[in-house]
Each structure stands twice: as structure tokens, then as C-alpha cells.
Amino acid sequence: MANTYTLISSNTLSSSAASVTFSSIPATYTDLVLRVSARGDAATQAPNFDIFLNSDTTSKYSATWLQGSGSSVVSSSASNASYGRGSITDGATETSNTFSSSEFYFPNYNSTAAKPYSIITVEETNATAAYMQAYASLYRGTSGISTISLSTASGGYNFVAGSSFYLYGIKNS
């Protein structure tokens, strides 16, 4: 049987970078899974990074999310945004050699309808607070997803070397 869960592309940074892009994503799969292990050089805790689909910077993104810190839980949302709420990294002030873990799931990424996708992201640091987030996200673009970009630019920092990004394709037959 043909492989159902296939690595499409990967990128492990050898030096810091403000963005990572997967382009020319083949339309031969059903769903996409993006797994990220990331750390940022921002002097803050848990800086966020953004996601752009098909290089779209128009107000087609929205999300509802849930965040726990180890002592509290909150929920928030964003609508008609020009970027997708991405994920969190371990920042420069957090426990060294520690990277966050995130998984993005894009079902039916070739659909010509709005596309829901999920994100689960966790960071850990040996401190009194660390964050985990779950996002219900929506991209209202009507083209299949052929490009995924992750960017730290809005936070003014970079992914550090060693951050890794793996894009998988899943076939439903």
C-alpha cells in the first residue's frame, strides 16, 4: 500500500531566521500536518509567531483559543485578521536548550471552501509559568493551500538555529 503519511519537506535552521516557508506544496494529499520545534531570540517569554497561507495578508484569518499557564486558564479570539495566529516559541529568557513543540493540522487543504485548521502548541521552562495553547483556526481563502509561511517578523525576533519544521502529507485513500 502506498504511504499514507509522507514527509513532504523539512527545514532545520543552521542559523537564525525570521521566517520559514514551505512552497509548491503538492496537491496530491488530503490533509497536511506541520510539526515545529522552535526557540526564539526574543528577550521575552513565549513569543508568538504568525502563519500565512498562500502568502495571503488580507483579513481572511480568525481563531478562537484556549491558554493555560500552570496557574490560570484563559480564552480569547481574533477575527478578520491579516495573519493567522501561529504558535509560541521558547524565548531567550527561558530555560536554555529548550524548544517549544507545535502541531498544525490542515484537513482538506485543497478545498475551495473556507478551511478550518487546528493548532496545539506547548512551551516549557523551569519557572513558575509556562504556556500551552489550543487554537481553533479558520482561513477563509478559497484556493487550495500551496504555500505555508511561519514568521516572527511581527514580534521583531528570529527563530534560532536548531529550530526545526517538518511538513507531512496525509492521503485518505
Partner 1 sequence: MAATYEPIATTTLGSAASSITFSSIPSTYTDLRVVLTTTATSAFYGKLTFNGDTGANYSETWIDGSGSAAASGRNSSNNWLYISQRQIQTGQPQLITTDIFSYAGSTYKTALETYNQDQNGSGWVGSQVGLWRSTAAITSITYTTSTSTFTAGTTATLYGIKSA
Looking at the Cβ atoms of 20 and 33, the one nearer to partner 1 is: 33
- Chain positions contacting partner 1, by CB under 8 A: 1, 3-5, 30-31, 62-66, 73-77, 79-80, 105, 107-108, 113-118, 120, 134-138, 140, 170-173
In the numeric block, the cell 478562537 is attached to 64
Supply 106's cell numbers. 490542515
**β 100-106/31-38 pair status:** antiparallel
Looking at the Cβ atoms of 92 and 138, the one nearer to partner 1 is: 138
Looking at the Cβ atoms of 4 and 57, the one nearer to partner 1 is: 4
* DSSP conformation letters of 23-65: -S--S--SEEEEEEEEBB--SSSS-EEEEEETT--SS-EEEEE
Supply 155's cell numbers. 514580534
Least CB distance to partner 1 at residue 138 (A): 4
Least CB distance to partner 1 at residue 18 (A): 27
